[in-house]
Amino acid sequence: MGKKRSRLEIIRDILVVIKEKSGKIKPTHILYKSNLSHQMMDEYLTELLKKGFIEEGEREDKGRTYCITKKGQMFLERYKMIADFTEGFGIG
Amino acid sequence: MTEFYLIPTWFFGFSSLLELFFGLITLGVALYAFYVNRFCDEREIKLFGYGFLAIALSYFSWAFVNWYVPFKASIQEEIFRFNNYEMLVSLGVYAHVFLFLIGLVTLVFLTMMREGNRLYSLLVILSFLIIVFSEQKIISFYFVSSLLLFYMIYHYGREFYEEGGKHNALMLLAFIFLFIASVDFTFSAINHIHFVAGHILFLIGYLFILFNLVLMVKPFLRKQKQKNG
């Protein structure tokens, strides 16, 4: 069995999924790709919205969509540095 | 009159420099934490930064006191009895005590991975109550610090046991030396040699932290350099 993903890894996975879909994705697709429970995914999405890493797209007939922001892209670019820091100092 | 430390007078300049150096190392860790936090906005990283910032400020305050005392006082004895003979000195020492404990409590709280402020406030209040109601405040301060540092050893010991890795090993070694230094400082009001030995042990501990920080920052700087040219 693989190692349990850290919070930062889950955030990275969600952002990667959104980015791969040209920055616009429906929650069901995130749920499928990020391998999380519905409740967990909702919690993460709320957090990412609060942090400004993603934003809710305009409501379409088919429901909510999410797109990655510039701040979210910066997180992905600097992910290794962030992960090295938390791992290096044993936090998170 | 409360006796803080017994210090050999020849050590005054060195002690100030060492404390300044400890302050710069911990400030470096804090600033890097704040820099990393700019990209992820993580509560743990921010708290880690504040913890190290408080420790850095505590060392700057201590360095100031150890610089100010020989500058102002005419010391003729070989061993200086560092007590609360002047308001400014007392303020400096108590600022060091307050900030160092706040920093350590923040780091210990962080390793417990708890949400909320109740446990944090309890840790802060308990730590300070022990010192406030103690007759030998400096001894109590180092006793509480040693206890908190022991929890940090436990945290990094467990991390090293479960995950391994050079970073965890370095942090474990760092906190072992900081713990021994803190225990040694408990006796610094009894014999002046403990003040010198404590500084050297602290130096070894902080050098491990500095080495860990350098290992972390180096690949990032190399990457930046490649990007720029």
pLDDT for B104 equals 96
Confidence of residue B208 (pLDDT cuts 50, 70, 90): very high
For residue A64, which phi and psi values (nearest 5 degrees)? -70, 150
Could you give the percent of chain B with pLDDT greater than 90? 55
* Residue to test with chain A: of B40, B114, B216, most A Cβ within 10 A: B40
Chain A interface includes B217 (CB < 8 A): no
At A5-39, the pLDDT tens digits run 788 999 999 999 888 876 578 888 888 887 888 89
In a domain, residue A51? The reply is yes
Helix axes A27-34, A38-51, angle to 10 degrees: 110
Mean predicted lDDT score pLDDT of chain B: 88
At B23-37, the pLDDT tens digits run 999 999 999 999 999
Rounded to an integer, what distance in angstroms lies between the CA atom of residue B228 and that of residue A5? Answer: 33
**Domain count across chain A:** 1
Mean predicted lDDT score pLDDT of chain A: 84
At B149-188, the pLDDT tens digits run 999 999 999 999 998 899 999 999 999 999 999 999 988 8
For residue B32, give how far its alpha carbon lies from the nearest alpha carbon of chain A (Å).
Answer: 9
In a domain, residue A32? The reply is yes
pLDDT for A30 equals 84
In a domain, residue A56? The reply is yes
The residue segments making up the domain with residue A34 are 7-88
The residue among B86, B25, B69, B72 whose CA lies nearest residue B214 is B25
In a domain, residue A62? The reply is yes
Q: What is the CATH number of the domain that holds A79?
A: 1.10.10.10
At B87-125, the pLDDT tens digits run 777 888 889 999 999 999 999 999 887 667 788 888 899
Chain A interface includes B111 (CB < 8 A): yes
pLDDT for B1 equals 47
What secondary structure does DSSP assign to B20-73, as a single string?
HHHHHHHHHHHHHHHHHHHHH--HHHHHHHHHHHHHHHHHHHHHHHHHHHHHHS
ipTM given for this complex = 0.86
pLDDT for A23 equals 57
In a domain, residue A34? The reply is yes
CB contact under 8 A, B40 and A8: yes
B110: which chain A residues are within 8 Å (Cβ-Cβ)?
91
* Residue to test with chain B: of A50, A85, A86, A87, most B Cβ within 10 A: A85
Looking at residues A63-88, what average pLDDT do you find?
90
In a domain, residue A11? The reply is yes
In a domain, residue A1? The reply is no
The residue among A64, A62, A71, A83 whose CA lies nearest residue B36 is A83
